[in-house]
Amino acid sequence: QARLVESGGGSVQVGGSLRLSCVDTAYTFDTYYMGWFRQAPGKEREGVAGIDVDGTTRYADSVKGRFTISKGAAKNSVYLEMNKLESEDTAMYYCGADPASSVYRPGKAWFRVPYWGKGTQVTVSS
């Protein structure tokens, strides 16, 4: 099973950029669907972006054109490049993995994703 570790979070100003990383220490990424969710205080965890085994990517409307999800050259890594950050992007960001289906797709609840990391905090201030 996947063991996910996120990093790369931090504090930036509006308009800034961050790159989040997710490493699967169990080396299962090659056959897993991957994605990023986020959760702001008092809100439900929401999908941000996902990448399928075949490389298909999906994004939430709120981040399209600003965020990019990709797999690293090393098969056990996934990245989320975040540009033009807004204060509304402030949240804990979690990496998720699913061996059977897309982590992020419209209508799929976060609790249907079987594997999660512990998260990395992103804070965007004006």
pLDDT in tens, 48-79: 999 998 999 999 999 999 999 999 877 678 99
Identify the band that residue 29 occupies on the pLDDT scale cut at 50, 70 and 90: low
pLDDT value at 106 more than 70 = yes
Give the separation between CA 27 and CA 5, rounded to whole angstroms: 12
Give the separation between CA 26 and CA 122, rounded to whole angstroms: 25
